[in-house]
Amino acid sequence: MTPEQEEALKRSRKGRNIALGLVLAFFVVLFYLVTFVKMQG
Amino acid sequence: MSQSLHNPASANGQAQGVDALVLPADWRDFYALTKPRVMSLVIFTGLCGLLAAPGQIHPLIGFCAVLCIALGAGGAAALNQWWEADIDAGMKRTAARPIPAGRMRRTDARDFGIALSGASVITMGLAVHWLAAAILAVSIVYYAVVYTIWLKPRTPQNIVIGGGAGAFPPMIGWVAVTGHITLMPVLLFAIIFMWTPPHFWSLALFVQTDYAKVGIPMMPVVRGERSTRTQILVYSILLVPLAAAPWWAGTAGLLYGIAALALSLAFLALSLPVALRRAVPGDAMKPEKRMFAFSVLYLFALFAALVADRYATTFGVFA
């Protein structure tokens, strides 16, 4: 693997990890809020 | 989802040299796997079903319902692309998709599709309503299994029967609010069901060489252009009374009735030149392209009219 390919691999993996982290954080907040709404209802 | 370097073409069963070093799929590839453009129509009709339904829903729960519809549609689209990767590779329109383009392993798409589908159904059940979750599950299975795996490679009626998969979102939105199935969500289902064949066949008419190349028995390929054009006209005629049926049945108001009749008559008018002509070699297929473009606008406008009518009636603008 060339250094350029290695760099591209790291970039791609980092982008995926950030996207996955944001999605998970979004769902944590969403379920937290939904729980409150359900408890009120 | 694989983190290692891989050769997706080998996963697709295609010949490719071992030097074909491919980077792991980017998040954009996973997003593309959900067919965002198709999803926008699904989300919109689902949202309209939710907004037009009688009753109240907490905005956050309503948001959850629409999100689950979107996730379910995305999951089904990913499963569709997992199954059809070889077919997609052979068609110009779909060759750039993540799997045929070699940017993603086929199994990654399958796992992503299953994860999205499962998460959408469970979230819908827990956060919104279990009947809505059940209909969502049926719609995903209908699209990914009944249409993609079973009907599409076997019969030219694939899009007629399989069109039901795209007709579920407004019903899901409606049931998310009301908790039960009544005449109106069934009518909304029927409208999209009837709209799908002319919408899809107008597209199939100008990409039929692609379908023929990969052996998909689309109507223009199997029954020929003449039959397809006649059927487009028949479905467009049937759509006129069906689209107005919610008004005649008294479940939608005058605003919707006027919009439904005007839009459906325009749809019918655009189907006439498609039905009455024959393509010649080198044909630009303008009437077919115009009808396809309008068919997308038609559904957006019809469902927007349904919501506008609901609020106009609620606030006393129309009796």
The interface predicted TM-score (ipTM) is 0.85
Q: Which residue of A has its CA nearest to B127?
A: A34
pLDDT at B159: 84
Whether A24 contacts chain B with CB within 8 A: no
Q: How confident is the model at residue B12 (pLDDT cuts 50, 70, 90)?
A: very low
Q: Over the stretch B167-224, which tens digit does the pLDDT of each residue have?
A: 999 999 999 999 999 999 999 999 999 999 999 999 888 877 777 788 888 888 888 8
pLDDT value of residue B257 = 97
Which of A7, A13, A8, A14 lies closest to B3 in space, CA to CA?
A: A13
Q: What is the pLDDT of residue B228?
A: 93
Q: Tell me the sheet residues that pair with B6.
A: B22
Confidence of residue B22 (pLDDT cuts 50, 70, 90): low
Is residue B51 predicted with pLDDT exceeding 90? Answer: yes
Residues in B closer than 8 angstroms to A13, CB to CB, are 3, 24
In this prediction, residue B279 carries a pLDDT of 79
Q: Where residue B17 falls among pLDDT bands split at 50, 70, 90? A: very low
Query: CB A37 to CB B58 under 8 A?
Result: yes
**Sequence ranges of the domains in chain A:** 1-41
Residue B283 is predicted with a pLDDT of 79
User: Are the beta carbons of A34 and B127 separated by less than 8 Å?
Assistant: yes
Alpha carbons B77 and B98: distance in angstroms, whole number: 12
- Give how far Cα A21 sits from Cα of A18, B24, B122, B133, B254, Å: 5, 17, 20, 26, 48
CA B211 to CA B221: how far, in whole Å? 7
- C-alpha span between B286 and B192 (Å, rounded): 24
pLDDT of residue B167: 95
Model confidence pTM above 0.90: no
**What is the pLDDT at residue B319?**
54
B42, B169 in Cβ contact below 8 A?
Answer: yes
- Give dist(CA B301, CA B131) in Å, integer: 28
pLDDT digits (tens, 9 = 90+) for A7-40: 888 888 888 899 999 999 999 999 999 999 999 8
With contacts defined as CB-CB under 8 Å, which chain B residues touch A31? 127
Mean per-residue pLDDT of chain B: 89
- Write down the pLDDT at residue B9: 42
| Residue in B3, B64, B127 nearest the CB of A13 | B3
Look-up: residue for tokens 């691999």? A9
Give the whole-number percent of chain B exceeding pLDDT 70: 92
Alpha carbon distance B146, B159 (integer Å): 11
3-state helix, strand, coil in chain B (%, to 5): 75, 0, 25
**Banded model confidence at residue B313, pLDDT cuts 50, 70, 90:** confident
B203 backbone dihedrals φ, ψ, rounded to 5°? -70, -45
**pLDDT number for residue B7:** 40
Q: Which residue has the tokens 């396809």?
A: B292
Residue type, B114: I
What is the model's pLDDT at position B79? 97
pLDDT in tens, B234-292: 999 999 999 999 999 999 999 999 999 999 999 999 999 999 988 777 778 899 999 99
The answer for residues whose C-beta is within 8 angstroms of residue B201's C-beta and 6 or more apart is: B159, B218, B219, B220, B228, B231, B232
Contacts of B5 in chain A (CB under 8 A): 1, 9
Identify the three-state secondary structure at position B248.
Answer: helix
